[in-house]
Amino acid sequence: MGLAELRAPIESERFLLVPLGRWRAFRLTYSWTKDSSFMSSYCGSGERRSPWKWYREMVRPNNRTKFVHAIVPHGQTRPIGVHMMVMRPPKSCSLAVGIHSRDWWGRGVVQEVRSRIIEHIFDHSDVERLHTLVMARNFPSVFNSRKLGFIHVGTLHRARLDKATGEVQDLLLFEMFREQWMAGKGLADA
Amino acid sequence: MRERRHAAVAGIIAAALGCRSQDVPDDAPVGSLPQWDSIAHMNIIMAFEERLGRQLTAEETASLETVASFAALLEPQAPGRA
């Protein structure tokens, strides 16, 4: 268990997950901020952002406690999305993901990437609790969270305003503890 | 009545998944059928909302664990029902 392992690229069946530095994360994701419908499901708001506003808003990786992994299909160089993890005391980690390439929607990317990332976190850190906030109308994300074994533990009502559409959304809080993941993994392996 | 509700739900899910209603058992967990991926799940919920004539609440969306839990939303005492 150590930082070097935690910082290492991660490989899954179809993807290489490459930890990005701050500047590369910004350069990659800023181009996506012009895609309003993607940003609505990714960040809850599809309004246009200036470079500075996006820099302030995005997860700025330090590759110690905050990571942004580019999701790169094997045999390709262009990332199709990013996965973020932010570790905070006490032994907690929040997760978020955005798949920008429509060609990969509905192809199990989130399931594959996130399960590999969760394994990586539990193998190489002392994190005990994972959580993720999902917009209630983002049904694919709700599906993915549940299927991975996350449990719905609370709802934040009328918590997010999409400035592009004026729509106000509820957020669902999902969490999972290390022992729950291990138990689920045991069942899958059995 | 319960059978009728299940048949209605199985019909909606089968149509979204492109399979037969008989292949959608009452106790099937969400995502357990091969065609039931995240996009199919979205299509199922949207078709279900159309049938209900309203949007599901956040809690209802999060509570959908099995085919039976969809059917439960059609019960007269289900939250959001008049």
pLDDT score recorded for residue B79? 56
Closest listed residue to residue A16, CA positions, set A93, A80, A106, A64: A80
Residue B41 to residue A105, Cβ atoms within 8 A: no
Do A173 and A152 contact (CB within 8 A), yes or no?
A: yes
**Overall average pLDDT of the A149-176 stretch:** 93
* CB interface of A with B, residues 166-185, below 8 Å: 170-172
Res A29 pLDDT > 90: yes
Query: Between A71 and B28, where is the model more confident?
Result: A71
Whether B69 has its CB under 8 Å from any CB of chain A: the answer is no
Per-residue pLDDT of chain B (82 residues; tens, 9 = 90+): 667 778 888 999 999 999 998 889 888 899 989 899 999 999 999 999 998 999 999 999 999 999 999 988 887 665 554 4
**Overall average pLDDT of the A66-74 stretch:** 98
State the best of B41, B61, B64 to mutate against chain A, taking most chain A CBs within 10 Å: B61
pLDDT score recorded for residue A188? 63
pLDDT score recorded for residue B82? 43
Q: Which domains does chain B have, with CATH numbers?
A: 2-72 (1.10.1200.10)
Closest listed residue to residue A67, CA positions, set A89, A97, A30: A97
Q: Give the domain range for residue A23.
A: 3-189
Residues of chain A found within 8 Å of residue B45, distances taken between Cβ atoms: 139
**Overall average pLDDT of the A107-121 stretch:** 96
Task: List the end-to-end C-alpha distance of chain A, in Å, as a whole number.
Answer: 26
**Rounded Cα–Cα distance for residues B40 and A82 (Å):** 23
Whether B30 has its CB under 8 Å from any CB of chain A: the answer is yes
Helix (H) or strand (E) holding B25: none
**Rounded Cα–Cα distance for residues A146 and A76 (Å):** 30
Looking at the structure of chain A, the number of domains it has is: 1
For residue A139, give the nearest of B45, B63, B65 by CB distance.
Answer: B45
Residues of chain B found within 8 Å of residue A136, distances taken between Cβ atoms: 57-58, 61-62
CATH number at residue A15: 3.40.630.30
Res A2 pLDDT > 90: no
Res A186 pLDDT > 80: no
